[in-house]
Structure 1
Amino acid sequence: IQEVVDTGVLWARSCTSSNPAQILVASTVTSTHWCPLEIGWVKLNTDEVSSIRGSNASIGGVFRDSPASWLCGFSMRIETLLAGGTTSNKLQELRLIHQLLCRNWKVQIRHISRSPNKVVDHMAKIANDYSNNVKIFEDPPSSILGLLFDEQ
């Protein structure tokens, strides 16, 4: 799980350092609600948020099984952004993502809009309560229990 969390952090950093206008133009919403999984699959939902002033960025994520049960979650403040939104070089991050995707496992990547993805949006927002270390949640934080209930 730590390796997948690390990959999610790298992905968020690469998105944060991209031009937001380019991301919006290129993105396609393929789902407008949280979709249950086929048996045997694990779903990782992630979200990245930036502060209103644009000085901090954080990531949150949730792993769930096919009946949508919580497996674990994570939150992390990933960067204090530099002027102009620059955080890091994306090449190393893209190589790591490519290596993980090329492993002998099935991977599907889908974009889900923020409105039905409230749980991970909240997980990303609470990351500012922690240092730049990954905070792993074996149980859902009490602040998202209502959101988890609303999704089912």
Structure 2
Amino acid sequence: MSQYPMTARGAELLRKELNELKTVTRPRIINSIAEAREHGDLKENAEYHAAREEQSFCEGRIQDIEGKLSNAQIIDVTKMDNTGKVIFGTTVTIMNLETDAETTYRIVGDDEADIKNNLISVNSPIARGLIGKELDDVVNIQTPAGTVEFEITEVEYI
């Protein structure tokens, strides 16, 4: 199986979700199924079918998280020397050379990506354009509006 790159924070969030699913959600669903069974005929019991569907989703998510954690390649950039090079896990500030607008992104794994919080997937076009570049480099990144020229103004290993 392939390795899943993940930040230490991302791995911790997955572990918390897994613990929540196993200790809170799973027992609640089991109780819901037991209560629904007591209502009688299972063929026409919507509560029972809804609880079974929720159980299926929960078990699938548990398997998904366990698989990702077992194949996780946890990368903690805080323990690395800052060379000014953009790598997985770094926080990068880029400036659009046309508009002088600055944006800061953190390059994270697919499961951690959240554009609203400026967490971008390592597989996103922006991250792919930045990985391997260094502080003060100028990069051209393909966006929906066309190719945009950015300058890397800061690289943090935080």
| TM-score range normalised by the length of the shorter chain | under 0.3
The two structures have a TM-score, normalised by structure 2, of 0.23
Higher relative contact order (CA 8 A, sep 6+): 1
Higher alpha-carbon Rg: 2
Q: Which has the higher strand share?
A: 2
Q: TM-score, with normalisation over the residues of structure 1?
A: 0.24
